[in-house]
Amino acid sequence: MSARAVFLDRDGVLNAAIERGGRPHAPDAVEQLAILPGVPGALAELRRAGFLLLVVTNQPDVARGATTRAAVDAFNDALRAALPLDGVYCCFHDDADRCACRKPAPGLLLEAARAWDVDLSRSFMVGDRWRDTEAGVAAGCRTVFVDLGWRERRPERYDAKVSSLPEAAAWIIEGGAR
């Protein structure tokens, strides 16, 4: 039987995003890694419920020249050392690249699903931006929007709206996974 997974956006869901003008941005360095409250416990609960934990994250600052792939990889390595994650999948492109991996395209989820034999119809995408929920819908997952009040386009489609990963985990485990 194929596995179930919770696909997780990175910045704003697992770790604190850097807010600039009401919009979230990725931290610039490992030293800025701040795991959000309740995240380790929420991930442990999801793991106990039988879910793989797979991060899918857009990191366009690489394409924009604002950071390097090595810096993003170092950040992801620190995140994996701090949290029980099964995999981290990154898109390093910007919108102009029109790639299949930049959310809202489902490419990262599809790649991870192939690698881990995931049944997307029994899986979830948890994110704090419209791109996350749209990618989840496009991949065939149920979606959870973590509403952090960013001043930007809001998602139009999602199965649940919460304010944190612990709330998302509770919804998935208590009813969303049925």
Neighbouring residues of 99: CB distance < 8 A, sequence distance ≥ 6: 91, 93, 105, 107
9 is a catalytic site residue: yes
What residues contact 13, with CB distance under 8 A and at least 6 apart? 36, 126, 127, 128, 146, 165
> Is 11 a residue of the active site?
yes
As a residue count, the chain comes to 178
What is the C-alpha to C-alpha distance for residues 48 and 133, in angstroms, rounded to an integer? 24
Of the candidates 11, 28, 86, 117, the residue annotated as catalytic is 11
Question: Please, what is the end-to-end C-alpha distance for the chain in angstroms?
Answer: 17
Which residue among the candidates 9, 94, 97, 128 is catalytic per the annotation? 9
Helix (H, G, I), strand (E, B) or coil at 69: helix
Cα–Cα distance, 152 to 104 (Å, whole number) = 15
Residues labelled catalytic: 9, 11
